[in-house]
């Protein structure tokens, strides 16, 4: 069964994100979906043709992590955008952030600070499935640095394509726009 790109056109018009930036980002996301499907088909054919264990098969297997995670991380990212309401400070997510970081402000400072680090990648608020603890984590590449057994709660793309069209090198301004558009209901629904 092939993966299908989701339609995120409802995000067009979102404050702080130009139509050009969003449409370019949607096109990039579509590429991850397309390449995930191509790799899945190629790997299935190689398995059928008994080409498992070949250098070509091995490298395509490794590449699948990049393409699949690029697809899925963009879906988490776009899904947690488009909100207009502030975080409900009496809700379960706000209470959990306060419990794990001391207060909401400490969590936000850590998340923004992680996003402002030099380099390209992602910032993900994870929840550890074992302890339930919330952790802000920098992910350098789609397929490297993920915390095993953790659930993505909030995802922010900090690759240049996510902000440079609108903000140039002013990543902090992009992060500010991101925070204005978090769909907290979606984010809270991911919390276990």
pLDDT of 177 over the 90 cut: yes
Q: Which residues contact residue 183 at a Cβ distance below 8 angstroms, ignoring those fewer than 6 apart? A: 79, 80, 81, 82, 83
pLDDT of 28 over the 90 cut: yes
* CATH H-level, domain 92-190: superfamily: Iron/manganese superoxide dismutase, C-terminal domain (3.55.40.20)
Which pLDDT band, with edges at 50, 70 and 90, does 144 fall under? Answer: confident
pLDDT of 9 over the 90 cut: yes
Which pLDDT band, with edges at 50, 70 and 90, does 143 fall under? Answer: confident
pLDDT of 87 over the 90 cut: yes
The rounded distance, in Å, linking the Cα atoms of 187 and 153 is 6
The rounded distance, in Å, linking the Cα atoms of 55 and 52 is 9
Which pLDDT band, with edges at 50, 70 and 90, does 1 fall under? Answer: confident
Provide, rounded to the nearest whole percent, the portion of the chain with pLDDT above 90: 94
Q: Are 35 and 67 in contact (CB under 8 A)?
A: yes
Q: Are 15 and 83 in contact (CB under 8 A)?
A: no
Q: What is the mean pLDDT of residues 71-88?
A: 97
pLDDT of residue 85: 95
Residue pLDDT, tens place only, 116-129: 999 999 999 999 99
Which pLDDT band, with edges at 50, 70 and 90, does 145 fall under? Answer: confident
Provide, rounded to the nearest whole percent, the portion of the chain with pLDDT above 70: 100
C-alpha distance from residue 48 to each of 35, 44, 109, 156 (Å):
20, 6, 51, 38
**Could you tell me where the beta strands, DSSP code E, fall in 29-139?**
122-128, 134-139
């Amino acid at each position: 069964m092939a993966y299908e790109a989701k339609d995120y056109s409802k995000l067009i018009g979102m404050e702080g994100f130009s139509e050009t930036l969003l449409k370019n980002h949607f096109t990039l996301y579509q590429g991850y979906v397309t390449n995930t499907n191509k790799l899945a088909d190629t790997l299935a054919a190689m398995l059928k043709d008994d080409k498992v264990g070949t250098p070509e098969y091995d490298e395509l297997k490794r590449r699948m992590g990049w393409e699949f995670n690029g697809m899925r991380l963009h879906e988490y990212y776009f899904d947690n955008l488009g909100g207009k309401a502030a975080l409900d400070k009496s809700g379960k997510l706000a209470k959990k952030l306060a419990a794990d970081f001391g207060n909401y402000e400490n969590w936000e400072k850590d998340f923004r600070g992680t996003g402002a680090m030099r380099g390209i990648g992602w910032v993900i608020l994870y929840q550890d499935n074992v302890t339930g603890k919330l952790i802000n984590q920098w992910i350098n590449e789609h397929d490297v640095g993920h915390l095993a057994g953790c659930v993505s709660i909030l995802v922010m793309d900090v690759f240049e394509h996510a902000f440079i069209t609108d903000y140039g090198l002013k990543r902090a301004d992009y992060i500010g726009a991101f925070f204005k558009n978090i769909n907290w209901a979606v984010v809270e629904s991911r919390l276990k």
